Amino acid sequence: MDGLDSATGRTPQRGVGAGRRVLLYSHDTFGLGHLRRCRAIAQGLTASDPALSALILTGSPIAGRFDFPARTDHVRLPGVVKLPGGDYRSHNLAVDIEETVGLRAAIIDAAAAAFAPDLIIVDKEPMGFRGEMEATLRAARRRGARVVLGVRDVLDEPTALREEWERKGAIAAVETFYDEIWIYGLPEICRPLEGLPLSRRMRARTLYTGYLRREAPGGAELHAPPAPYADYVLVTAGGGGDGAALVDWALSAYETDPGIPWPAVIVYGPFLGAEERAAFERRAEALGERVTTVSFDSRIERLENEARGLVAMGGYNTFCEILSLDKPAVIAPRTQPRLEQLIRAEAAERHGLVRMLHPPRDGAGPAVMAAAIRGLATQPRPSAAPIPGLLSGLETIVARAAPDAAPLDAAHDWSAPAARRAGTTPRDA
């Protein structure tokens, strides 16, 4: 029965001369981060091989508002939303969450069986949302496809992460189904898997790739700044679902300090609540030409590239864009429901890459934010604190995704940062 797909019982057929195929899973129960990361990886892979096709499985309700790279497409899974108490429900369907997960799992399994990928890259959740990837992972093992777990540079505080992974059966899934783990960052920033009881075998197969480089569209696609601004500060709340506090803080700074020398462009994000958005719009209108607001921009890199500097929460994708576009940035990280952004911001500030604003340390008043915005005039760019291999992520992924990539060598100690500086890339210790 090996090689048969679970949906039809037939062996998947590939066209004559068909190129390589990569399937990327992005569960997307909240925000934009997973989809945007998978999209960046797909772009890097397809750009490196004109015969490669990439298919992204995503639960994002706004996936259709993004343009996708050449030879890349997506399958939209039924959406789920997280409730304030931590439970989930179907986003649109009048069915319970168990039936929604079953439907998502069936779509994933059918898509993977029909697409027959050579490589599967699973973003963050080893078993997928509530185990929905299990059947697909088992089929991939039988078919001989390579399976990789990709994780961002920071997941959570180590004790909380270990409890979460043990509860979800993630450790067993990694040991059973995965060939490699790719960490999209560097150990100088964080070692996200530290403290997890992974086997020696899997630790030897864990690779720090570096961060994923982003580029702003150029030429005719280059976005002109909104309103009459030739020089502005960009405030971005990421997906917006948890960005209200940052928007409020930035608006308060402009309301309190009329002498801030640059206007602000505030991008709310598509998931900011309607009532909060309406209240912010009234405040922005009262500030006149000093503040312009944008609901959502699927190519926010264009706005970031033209900005003097950024004020952001510091999620993974925004951090990659700050580094790639070499922009001075003020990061005000959230601390709920997990410490990911705070851990990243603290480490980045230690290395001179950004400035962090953390109310318990810096205060939370409007003057604090206003001073930080003013400080962008003299704040060094990230390139002033060079770190070898900082933005090598896509190049590393392309190399590891190649069909002739050598197995990761367990005979060396890759955990020390010095290994990368000598021309190699360290692995998680």
293-304 pLDDT, tens digit per residue, is 999 888 889 999
Closest to 362 in 3D by CA, of 354, 371, 353, 375: 371
State the total domains in the chain: 2
Element holding 122 (H helix, E strand): strand 119-123
Q: Are 326 and 213 in contact (CB under 8 A)?
A: no
**Do the domain assignments include residue 251?**
yes
**Do the domain assignments include residue 429?**
no
Element holding 347 (H helix, E strand): helix 340-350
> Is a pLDDT exceeding 80 seen at residue 429?
no
Q: Which domain covers residue 328, as residue numbers?
A: 219-384
Element holding 306 (H helix, E strand): helix 300-306
**pLDDT value of residue 65:** 79
**pLDDT value of residue 427:** 42
Same-domain pairing of 26 and 173? yes
**pLDDT value of residue 226:** 47
**Do the domain assignments include residue 8?**
no
**Mean pLDDT of the region 174-201:** 95
Highest mean pLDDT among 92-101, 155-164, 343-352: 343-352
Same-domain pairing of 399 and 372? no
Q: Both tokens of residue 203?
A: 């630790």
**Do the domain assignments include residue 3?**
no
Minimum mean pLDDT among 32-41, 158-167, 333-342, 419-428: which range? Answer: 419-428
Percent of the chain with pLDDT over 90: 69
SS (HEC) of 262-300: CCEEEECCCCCCHHHHHHHHHHHHHCHHHEEEECCCCCH
**pLDDT value of residue 230:** 79
**Residue 73 maps to which CATH number?**
3.40.50.2000
**Do the domain assignments include residue 13?**
no
| Residue in the structure block whose two tokens are 């990694």 | 174
Confidence band (pLDDT; 50, 70, 90) for 17?
low
Same-domain pairing of 106 and 61? yes
**Do the domain assignments include residue 79?**
yes
**Mean pLDDT of the region 226-231:** 63
254-274 pLDDT, tens digit per residue, is 999 999 999 999 999 888 999
- pTM exceeds 0.85, yes or no: yes
- How far is the C-alpha of 107 from the C-alpha of 116, rounded, in Å? 14
Highest mean pLDDT among 69-73, 78-82, 256-260: 256-260
The mean pLDDT of the chain is: 88
**Do the domain assignments include residue 16?**
no
- How far is the C-alpha of 72 from the C-alpha of 124, rounded, in Å? 21
